[in-house]
Structures are given as C-alpha cells and as structure tokens.
Chains A and B, each alone.
Chain A
C-alpha cells in the first residue's frame, strides 16, 4: 500500500508544480504502479472509468464539429452587443453566456471560445480585458457546476454513480445560479472603475457584424439540430434508460455522419492528452483502492467525524474546495470518489455526499490559477494577447470568489440536506 500512496502523492506533487505536463505525470504514475505490480494489468484496465472517457470524447467531438460553424462566436458577439455598452450589462451578459455555455460544454472549451471574443470586445470598448476574463473564468467554474457534463468533477462523479443529468440539475443548478448572481455582482463592484466605457466605444461594438461570424451556414443547419437534441437527450437520459456517455457518443456519431469534415479532421478535436491524463489517473487511484489506501482514508474520516453526517458533508465539501485549489480538481475528485463512495455507502446510500463533493471540487476550481484546466487555458491566452494573468493576480480574485460561493454552498447544503 505504501508504494501506491508514494507514487500517487509524488504524482500529485509534480502535477501541482505545473513544471511537467500533467498527462506525462499521470502516465508515468500509472506505469509505475503496474510495473511494480501494485496493481496488475487486468485490474488496471478495469480501474479505468470508460463511461467518463466516452462522455468526454463524445463531447469533444461534438464541440469540434460545431465550433468551425462560428455559432459560438456568434453567441459571444451577440451577448456583448446586447449589453449596448453598459458596463454592468457587459459583465452580466458575458458572464451569463460563459456560465450557460459552460453548463453544456466543458469549462475549458467555453473559455477557449469566449476569451478571444472578450479581448476583441474589450478592444472595441477600449477597456481593460483582464477583469472580464477573470469574471468569465469564475463564471465558467460556477456555471459548470450546474450539470452533469459541465465540469470534469461532475463527469467523474456521474461515471462512478447512477446519478442522472436531471439529478445534477435539480440538486446543483439552484445553488450554482445563486452563487453566479452573488459572485458576479461582487466582482462587478470590485472591478467597476476599470470598466468605464466611453460613448463612442459603444458604437464600435455595435458595428461588429455577428451574422458574418457564421462561417458555414449549411454545416450549421446540419449540425445544430443534433447539438440541441443531444442536450435535450441529456435531460431525459435517466427516463429513457440511456447512459450519458451513450448520449454524447450517439450525438457525436450522428454529427460525424452529417458533417462535411473528414473523420480525421473531426478526431483532431479530441484532446487526447486529457483522455490519457484521465486514464493514468484512474489506474493510480485503482492501485490506491486495491491496496486498501482509500478504505484507510475513509475509515480515518469516519473515525474523526464518528459517523456524524453534518461533519462528513461539510468536511467533504470544504476539504474538496481547498484540495482542488492546491492540486487540480480532476485528480482530487478522482481520489475522493472512492472515499466518498464508502462514506455515503455507510450512511445508507446518501446522494447528498456526492453533491457536497461536486460543490467543493467545482467551486474549488476558482481557488487558484491551477485549480482547473480552464483557468490555465485562459491565462495562457491572456499571455499570448500580451496581458498575462499572474498566479497572485488570480488568487486575489479566486480566493474571495471561492469563499463566497462556498459559504453559500454551505448554507444550501445545510438547508436542503441536513
């Protein structure tokens, strides 16, 4: 057991430094646990959650096929124009668009789609783009909390449980909406002096021709209905008895049949490093589980809380938020799932434990710049645009935003589940 723990802890420590590609680290960790026979190959393969991999791959393909049509650019420009150059409306429309897109695409994709347009809008409005980008990062992590497919921690939880898309929406969307309104409002108040917009600049945004952002209308007409039906199918997948990965892969397959993109072009949209990162992670966590380390952690938590449900729910939520901020919410959630599984099983299959884990891990994604992949991607784009967002700059916004949303989440869990 010690070897499995050492390999896993070492991998997490290296990932947290951000010096080595996280996929390489996860694959090396997986290689080491298998080579050292900490887990045998058969069990290593069984440890991989193919439901999660399938769901991620399917959504990546769907985004890849629809993105070149220009539909997301269109939505982002329209959101900027609807605000008609009023600072609060600009913040609200961009943050709301990010949160909504993030609920149905993944956070990383949403940020990659929204940030370039935000820089463009900020250029047109002659304002500092960084407050808007920071608000969008925060909004993407909060918005992604609302659904099963919105944030990798939720995808991981869904892969490990029988919880449906509707379960996630019913239990997480209300608090995600409250946190979004409160945190966005506070961020606007904090940044409002940097968001003053001159009247002539407002006109420049209205001159953006959103219709011309649709680059391929015939392709859009072919693929958009599939996107809409796929999202609708997520809402009813529990009722029709189809797993989320099947919904995503069915949507992706139909899109492959309809799109003018070749299979090779479409498959380039799959972020193989992300999928292999998950595979490596699952194998390492599988080794921890097989060697009894997860049970030890769960037993230790149970002995500290003495089975007190309130203490366990609050502990899971806050530890997940802090842990996600230090490591990255994906490996943290992957590690916590078997722990939470044991704790909630002991409590008689109590779903509130999963919501506590999701809220902690997803909201915790706002804690630091490295807490979620979307944060890192947005910072990278800002740097390429000549406006780098430093670790400390993000921390000044991320920590208060996480604390506020976590306090709200604590109240929500207490009111609804205790």
Chain B
C-alpha cells in the first residue's frame, strides 16, 4: 500500500453545516454524524470554515478563558455561572466557526494530511473538489488508518 492510499481510504462523506445553522442544530448533526467537526458552507455551497467540538466549547465558555492560560484556581461554584450562557445555543455557527483556510483536494497525500494535523488546531479537514465540499478526513480516522498500516507492515 502506498502512502497515497491511506489518505484516500480515510476520506468519508459527511453532512454540511450552513453558516445560518444554530449551534443547537450544529451540535446535533455533529453528534449524529459521529465526527468531531463538520464543514460550514455559504448559500452557494462554498466552504467558509469548520465548526466542531472545539468551537462549541469555545462558544459555551467565556472568551477570556483562552487568554487565562491556566484555570486550575477556578472553583466549581463558577460552573453554575456558565448556565447563563446557555442562550448561545441559538447563535449562528458563523459567529464561532474556525475560518482558518484549511482544505485539501481529492489527491491529497498522507504527508500533507500529517502536516495539517500537526500544525493546525483542526480535528477534520474538508475535501474540496471544483469548489464544492465532497467529504472530510478526520484526525481520528487518519490516526487509525496510519496505525493499522504500520502494524500490518511490522
């Protein structure tokens, strides 16, 4: 098996999120698809970004958390304060999606995928053909396929 084959085998089809979807709907579809994130597209099907587990947590928890650096000193009683942020479930995904421009075309190599997962904070990479999102590669799928391939070799 060539390295190119691993990348091809891990690609999967997945539903798309519209930039107008609410966080509630987006979270539902992510859980139903059993993937860590989904691609977000505009009304014409053009890729706008990614929304997934990390973005959902970021939306629910206060924005200053990422600038704190460390939160081991925060008591449990503050967890209750989060409940007042529950109304963010009605916000649109476009407000919180990761807009870092990361996508691949269908002849992506394993090396390119490895570079993306190592250097970018994404759990999936959308596959784009002729301007349309045709699938995704998840980091978990890539890891499993890579590990299985190496076990087979050894």
Contacts and interface: CB of A to CB of B under 8 A. Distances in A.
Contacts of B68: 73, 116-117, 120
10 contacts: A116-B68, A119-B64, A120-B64, A120-B78, A126-B81, A204-B75, A204-B81, A209-B73, A212-B73, A384-B63
Contacts of A116: 64-65, 67-68
A120 B74 CA distance: 9
Given A210-B73, A385-B62, 4 more contacts: A120-B64, A123-B78, A124-B77, A384-B67
Interface of B is mostly: loop
A209 B67 CA distance: 18
Given A123-B62, A381-B64, A386-B63, A212 B72 contact: yes
A365 to B, nearest CB: 22
Size class of the B contact interface (CB-based, 8 Å): 10 to 19
Interface of B: 62-70, 72-75, 77-78, 81
A112 B67 contact: yes
Contacts of B77: 124, 203-204, 207
A68 B69 CA distance: 8
Interface of A: 68, 70, 73, 77, 112, 115-117, 119-120, 123-124, 126, 203-204, 207-213, 215, 381, 384-386
Contacts of B66: 384
A96 to B, nearest CB: 21
Nearest to B71: A120
A384 B64 contact: yes
Given A123-B81, A204-B77, A115 B72 contact: no
Contacts of B67: 112, 115-116, 381, 384
Contacts of A115: 64, 67
A263 B62 CA distance: 33
User: Which 4 interchain pairs have the tightest Cβ spacing?
Assistant: A207-B75, A385-B63, A119-B64, A212-B73
A353 B70 CA distance: 45
Contacts of A385: 62-64
